Amino acid sequence: MANIGNSSRSVSPVRFSPLLHSARFMVTSSAMDNLPHTGLPEIAFVGRSNAGKSTAINTLCQQRQLAFASKTPGRTQHINFFAVGPKDKPSGLLVDLPGYGYAAVAKTDKKRWQLFLAQYLAERGPLVGLILLADSRLGLTEIDLSLLQFMAPASVPLHVLLTKSDKLNRQEGQRAAQAARDQLAQHAQAVGMTAPISLQLFSATKHTGIEAASQLIESWLAEHQPQAAAPHDDTPDTAAPAEGPG
Ligand SMILES: Nc1nc2c(ncn2[C@@H]2O[C@H](COP(=O)(O)OP(=O)(O)O)[C@@H](O)[C@H]2O)c(=O)[nH]1
Ligand SMILES: [Mg+2]
């Protein structure tokens, strides 16, 4: 399993992603049947309420209020879409999925959102990567791990951000990361998930792991850009490239 950005104690300034910085709100959906159809690859952020999802999205995008970071967890029951890339030619979408597993949410609501997540992860064609956020002090819970099962048929890569790592010392952080890696490996095998899984520590306050996470998100989107149409060749033969193969 990849070991991305596990020790970001560098003193050099964090390089934020200009692509992610370009994120702007596009649309809100409330159900599976009214998700936008743009043809753009999308990356979804998911996690238990209060895991630090909104804060992570805002930090990765260097925007204060792109995703609303609420002190009252469990309130955002909508799916927010953000576009990234040039205004006239966006190259991808970030999707802020509703948080799950918050005790104060009615049982029926919980069920409804679990069903939605299961369906979204299994059937959402444009989904090219999932970012799962989990509080590094709590680790992965049963409901986090159950996502792997929903994802297995779709073969979408998963990247886990263990958030709020500023709350742990170095050794605790390493231990938390190792424990989560072991859990993921075990669970992936059990449900037959073969897509890549990676994990890193992340802190919005200390800016830990920003670069690794940004780079991975960028690479997922880059891999899924629609193929440019073959350029119309009106170059004269004499202007053929000087270098041949080999
Ligand atoms: N110490 C610390 N607190 C964080 C960090 N990220 C989020 N939080 C806090 O965790 C709480 C939940 O964050 P939020 O982004 O709203 O979680 P969400 O429900 O998953 O969207 C808030 O009080 C945040 O200030 C972090 O990196 N470090
Ligand atoms: Mg939130």
Cα 10 versus chain centre, distance: 23
* Radius of gyration from C-alpha coordinates of the chain: 19
Atom of ligand 1 at shortest range from CA of 202: 27
Mean pLDDT value of segment 45-59: 94
Q: How much distance in Å is there from the Cα of 228 to the middle of ligand 1? A: 40
Question: DSSP letter at 48?
Answer: B
- In the structure, what pLDDT confidence band is assigned to residue 234 with cuts at 50, 70 and 90? low
Mean pLDDT of 108-122: 83
The domain locations on the chain are 15-225
Nearest ligand for residue 58 CA: 1
Strand partners, 83: 24, 93
Contact between 38 and 25 under an 8 Å Cβ cutoff? The reply is no
**Looking at the domain that runs over 15-225, which CATH code has it been given?**
3.40.50.300
pLDDT digits (tens, 9 = 90+) for 175-219: 999 999 999 999 999 999 999 999 999 999 999 999 999 999 999
How far does the centroid of ligand 1 lie from the alpha carbon of residue 51, in Å?
6
Q: How many A from CA of 237 to the centre of ligand 2?
A: 57
Q: Tell me which of 55, 70, 113 to substitute to probe ligand 1's pocket, judged by most ligand atoms within 8 Å of the beta carbon.
A: 55
Q: Which residue lies with its CA nearest to atom 5 of ligand 1?
A: 164
Residue 102 has pLDDT above 80, yes or no: no
Cβ(120)–Cβ(32) under 8 Å?
yes
From CA 221, how far away is CA 208, in angstroms rounded? 22
Q: What would the DSSP string read from start to end of 91-114?
A: -EEEEEPPPB--TTS-HHHHHHHH
Banded pLDDT at 18 (limits 50, 70, 90):
very high
Percent of the chain clearing pLDDT 90 (strictly above) = 63
